[in-house]
Amino acid sequence: MKTTFDAETVLTELMIPSYANFGGKVHGGILLSLMDKVAYVTAAKHCSGYVVTVSVEGVEFLSPIEVGDLVSLKARVNYVGKTSMIVGIRVEALNPKTGVVRHTNSCYFTMVAKDEHGKPTEVPGLLLTDEESLRRFAEGKALKSLAKQKHQLLKEEFHQMPLSEIKKSIEGERVDIQIIGL
Ligand SMILES: CC(C)(COP(=O)(O)OP(=O)(O)OC[C@H]1O[C@@H](n2cnc3c(N)ncnc32)[C@H](O)[C@@H]1OP(=O)(O)O)[C@@H](O)C(=O)NCCC(=O)NCCS
């Protein structure tokens, strides 16, 4: 067993001009790459082994990050299943000139531990030592269940649904259907 704090990781990086998009703000892809990196380090520390990224939930870029900001990504293992771990990441941007810190987003990376043959392998359990860890673990469990439902809806239900029902489900949307023979 390990606590949620044992593998806690903070990654801080300066947003340099080559990270900017055409609008002068930091590219979403740069942030995604940093999130993936901190999720990897955190999960690998928890299980003391090799991990892979399986899914990402909750990534939103609602508040842009500027060149010159110092971005910190604080990550913890919030939830563990048998072979998977949900790493919660809080992203903050500090403007070093003004000292203002903005919480730009929080997201969740599901990482799976792999053995030397590339097969998913069991990870240590979590020892929950405070209320916050308990709440996050329950959230992680809910997230896993919601992700399963979403996966089922998108990958299975829509593929088996009759076209008439699909048409009904998009009534009122800004589309015109002109499929020959429909
Ligand atoms: C995801 C992967 C490990 C699943 O392997 P699998 O042999 O089907 O194994 P399982 O079905 O037993 O799933 C293993 C774990 O992954 C979780 N998982 C599988 N698919 C998932 C998904 N879409 N979202 C979240 N978790 C998922 C399962 O819940 C399980 O967790 P648990 O053991 O804690 O309950 C496998 O498909 C894989 O290796 N994918 C490639 C990952 C990768 O290379 N990532 C880098 C991106 S370039």
- pLDDT at residue 181 greater than cutoff 90: no
- Count of the separate structural domains present in the chain: 1
Distance (Å) of CA 36 to CA 53, 58, 134, 163, 164: 8, 13, 24, 38, 40
Structural domain range at position 122: 2-169
CA nearest to 90, candidates 71, 101, 110, 105: 105
Q: How far is the CA of 133 from the centre of ligand 1 (A)?
A: 24
- Is residue 179 in a domain? no
User: Please, which pLDDT band fits residue 154 given cuts at 50, 70 and 90?
Assistant: confident
Does the Cβ of 121 fall within 6 Å of ligand 1? no
pLDDT score of 156: 84
Instruction: Indicate if the pLDDT at residue 182 is higher than 70.
Output: no
In a domain, 107, yes or no: yes
- Most confident region among 60-64, 131-135, 157-161 by mean pLDDT: 131-135
Two structure tokens written together for 24: 């002068």
User: Best mutation site among 86, 108, 112, 119 for ligand 1, i.e. most ligand atoms within 8 A of its Cβ?
Assistant: 112
Total length of the chain: 182
Spacing, Cα 80 to ligand 1 middle (Å): 13
Q: What CATH number did the domain enclosing 30 receive?
A: 3.10.129.10
In a domain, 180, yes or no: no
> Domain for residue 174, yes or no?
no
pLDDT band at 68 (very low <50, low <70, confident <90, very high): very high
